[in-house]
Amino acid sequence: MNLTTGTVRDSTIASITRVFVSGGHQIFVPSSSFVLPVHAGNPVLVPCVTTSPNASVSLIPISTTQPSHMIYNGAKPGPQYFPSLGFHGILHSGTFKCQAVLGERMEESEIYNILVIPVSLPQPKIMSEKCTAIVGEDISIFCFISGSKIVHFDWNYPGLQLGRNCTKTEMDLEFGTWTRPSCGTQPEFQPGSIIRDGAEPWIKSSLTIHSAKLEDTGEYTCTAETAAGEGNSSISIVVLEHGFVRLQPAVAEEEWLEEGQTGHFSIPFWAYPTPTVQWLFNRKALHTSRQTASPLHITDVTNNSYESVLEVIRADISDSGLYTIIVSNADGRVEFTFRLRVFG
């Protein structure tokens, strides 16, 4: 009996020493592992170890999730063969067998079942109280992730290379759910019971830019890394020198309404900071006590986008006249006037 030792060192597998026994009747060393689970993206070890380091070994796919007629023999690309370990590399789910040739002898191994387990990459949520800021204001951005108790957060943002003054914090949160994940809204956390309503534990990371500058305009990306891998999410922030107000009326300068009908007159507008809205009727303040006009509806549609709707209910001849909307904030003031004619 001749004994030969073989040692293999590889960056992705441990250092293992096996003893080859030559002169026996079997080429393959008996194995006890025939079901080989592996997480997607990770290499798997198929233990086709032979009793002789001189054997020529191939890995043959039998049935796989991705049909392949390729026979692996250790040459790149494909799994690499280490005589003392077997084939090591990334493979699809399926069944495989090894074939060894030693001199004039040929032998096939038992069948190995490789089970690739899908990995769910982290999917962080990102939001900000405001996606528009004026020079000098602070900007706070929040990144949330659930499903993992150990998370490493990393931020990439325009001021990173400029060494901008910022504050980063990380904290664990209670079980619950996050609501209002839109730009320009204050994040809200609703506590809950993991047993009662399937709530999950969330971990939050926040980034605050102090005294924003114009060069802080751009994309802010949060990367969350867990044991399963990493995922990222981004949000765009705009920094302005001063605020603005813009109107885009959805009504004509002259509107007609039949007596007894109800009219809806919509005025979309954009503004930052948050504006105030005033309506006038014939250049006098429009009071909501008027029986022909309902209270004004002001809706915050999206980030910096609003809509004011004037309703004239069961129009009367006396409702004819000039209607003016005035939208203003600290940095601007605009108005629009249209004439309503009520006919009988």
The pLDDT assigned to 142 comes to: 87
CA atoms of 116 and 224, how far apart (whole Å): 24
* Contact predicate 311/291, CB 8 Å: no
For residue 241, what are its two tokens?
A: 């020198």
Separation of alpha carbons 305 and 267, rounded Å = 11
Q: List the chain pLDDT tens, one digit each, 344 residues.
A: 333 333 333 434 444 444 444 445 788 998 888 899 988 878 999 999 998 888 999 999 988 776 666 788 777 678 899 888 999 999 989 999 999 999 889 999 999 999 988 877 788 888 888 889 999 999 999 888 877 777 889 999 998 877 777 887 776 655 556 555 556 555 566 655 554 555 566 788 889 999 999 999 999 999 998 877 889 999 999 999 999 999 988 899 999 999 999 998 999 999 999 899 999 999 998 876 444 444 455 666 667 888 888 888 889 999 999 999 999 999 999 999 999 999 98
pLDDT value, residue 9: 39
First vs last C-alpha separation in the chain:
116
The predicted pLDDT at position 288 comes to 60
- pTM, to two decimals: 0.60
The per-residue pLDDT for 317 is 93
**According to the model, what pLDDT value does residue 298 have?**
64
| Structure tokens that stand for 81 in this block | 């063969």
DSSP per-residue string spanning 128-175: ES-SEEETT--EEEEEEEES-S--EEEEE-TTTTTT--EEEEEEEEEE
332 touches 291 (CB < 8 A): no
Q: DSSP 3-state assignment of 201?
A: strand
Supply the pLDDT for residue 4.
36
Buried b (16+ CB within 10 A) or exposed e, 19-36: ebeeeeeebbbeeeeeeb
The pLDDT assigned to 156 comes to 93
pLDDT of residue 24: 56
pLDDT at 198: 53
Strand order in the sheet with 276-281: 254-258, 332-343, 321-329, 276-281, 284-285
Checking phi first, is residue 88 left (phi over 0); if not, alpha (psi -120 to 50) or beta? beta
Sign for the CA dihedral angle at 264, 270, 273, 278 comes to: negative
**What whole-number distance in Å separates Cα of residue 62 and Cα of residue 112?**
10
Burial of 209 per CB tally in 10 Å (0-12, 13-18, 19+): buried
Which among 22, 69, 74 has a CA at the least distance from the CA of 48?
74
Which tokens is 339 given? 């004439």
Q: How far are the Cα atoms of 41, 201, 298, 324 from residue 174, in angstroms, in the given order? A: 32, 6, 34, 49
pLDDT confidence of residue 19:
43
